[in-house]
């Protein structure tokens, strides 16, 4: 089974690209989705203990938590220490299930792939990229997003140029969806010719 790591900076179109892989029949593990699920269950108690007042009714209030951790590297490290091991557990189960089903290719959709050393766990890395002006436009049009928040998020991410340099494949999401889809299909054709390492 070939494991692809999918990543890209905020606003680059990674979520859409993950959906395109899924539409081609490729199982996708969404790290962000796993975090959302944890925020509504397993991680809530631990987060409340570390950041009192950031949960309500058994789930994490993402806005309150964001206000506590964004821009505070120590708080962010504490949060990641709680959440990352739980996400890895979910990922391990996903990979085991995909192997049992005989999936030839799977995708691990990990926003902070390079930042957390996740590239060592995958066969090849797909980076989703778009022009910086397009990225800024997309992100600043999101509800509740501010320039300060955007800059704080970017500061935590490996720069797009560096991501592209380290990628095995780059999907340019700066054009229309069909252009992105054709790139995803081209990647899968190439991957089909590769020999899995494990």
Between the alpha carbon of residue 143 and those of residues 3, 10, 17, 140, 170, the distances in Å are 33, 14, 21, 8, 28
Full domain range(s) for residue 16 = 1-27+103-198
Question: What pLDDT digit, counting tens, does each position of 66-97 carry?
Answer: 889 987 889 999 999 999 999 999 999 999 99
Domains identified in the chain, total number: 2
The pLDDT score that the predictor gives to residue 149 is 86
Whether the pLDDT of residue 138 is over 90: the answer is: yes
Phi and psi of 191, rounded to 5°?
-65, -35
User: Is the pLDDT at 195 greater than 80, yes or no?
Assistant: no
Are 148 and 195 part of one and the same domain?
Answer: yes
168 and 80 belong to one structural domain? no
DSSP state of 120: G
Whether residue 196 is predicted with pLDDT greater than 70 in this model: the reply is no
Residues 21 and 110 in one domain: yes
Q: What is the pTM of this model?
A: 0.86
Cβ atoms of 105 and 10 closer than 8 Å: no
Do the Cβ atoms of 6 and 128 come closer than 8 Å? yes
Residue 69 zone, left/alpha/beta (φ > 0; ψ -120 to 50; rest): alpha
Q: Kindly report the CATH number assigned to the domain that includes residue 171.
A: 3.40.50.300
User: How far, rounded to the nearest angstrom, does the alpha carbon of residue 62 sit from its chain's CA centroid?
Assistant: 17
Q: Which of 102, 120, 151 is at the close of a domain?
A: 102
User: Which residue, of 102, 129, 150, is where some domain finishes?
Assistant: 102
pLDDT band for 153, please (50, 70, 90 cuts): confident
Is 55 strand, coil or helix?
strand
Same domain, 67 and 88: yes
Q: How confident is the model at residue 154 (pLDDT cuts 50, 70, 90)?
A: confident
Query: In the prediction, which pLDDT does 53 show?
Result: 93
Q: What are phi and psi of 179, to 5 degrees?
A: -65, -45
Query: Same domain for 168 and 194?
Result: yes
Domain boundary among 53, 80, 102: 102
On the question of pLDDT at 102 being above 60, the answer is yes
**186 and 121 fall within a common domain:** yes
| Residues 70 and 108 both lie in one domain | no
Q: What are phi and psi of 123, to 5 degrees?
A: -80, -40
Domain check: are 187 and 127 in the same one? yes
pLDDT of amino acid 198: 47
- Considering the domain architecture, whether residues 14 and 46 belong to the same structural domain is answered as no
């Amino acid at each position: 089974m070939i494991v692809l790591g999918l990543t890209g900076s905020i606003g680059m179109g990674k979520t859409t690209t993950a959906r395109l892989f899924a539409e081609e029949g490729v199982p996708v593990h969404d790290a962000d989705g796993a975090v959302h699920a944890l925020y509504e269950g397993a991680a809530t108690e631990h987060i409340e203990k570390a950041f009192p007042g950031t949960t309500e009714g058994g789930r994490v209030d993402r806005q309150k938590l964001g206000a506590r951790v964004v821009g505070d590297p120590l708080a962010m490290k504490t949060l990641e220490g709680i959440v990352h091991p739980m996400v890895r557990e979910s990922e391990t189960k996903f990979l085991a299930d995909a192997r049992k089903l005989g999936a030839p290719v799977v995708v691990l959709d990990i926003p902070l792939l390079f930042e957390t050393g996740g590239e060592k766990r995958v066969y090849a890395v797909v980076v989703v990229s778009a022009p910086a002006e397009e990225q800024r436009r997309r992100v600043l049009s999101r509800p509740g997003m501010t320039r300060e928040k955007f800059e704080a998020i970017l500061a935590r991410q490996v720069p797009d140029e560096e991501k592209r340099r380290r990628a095995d494949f780059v999907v340019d999401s700066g054009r229309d969806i069909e252009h992105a889809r054709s790139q995803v299909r081209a990647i899968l054709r190439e991957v089909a010719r590769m020999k899995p390492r494990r």
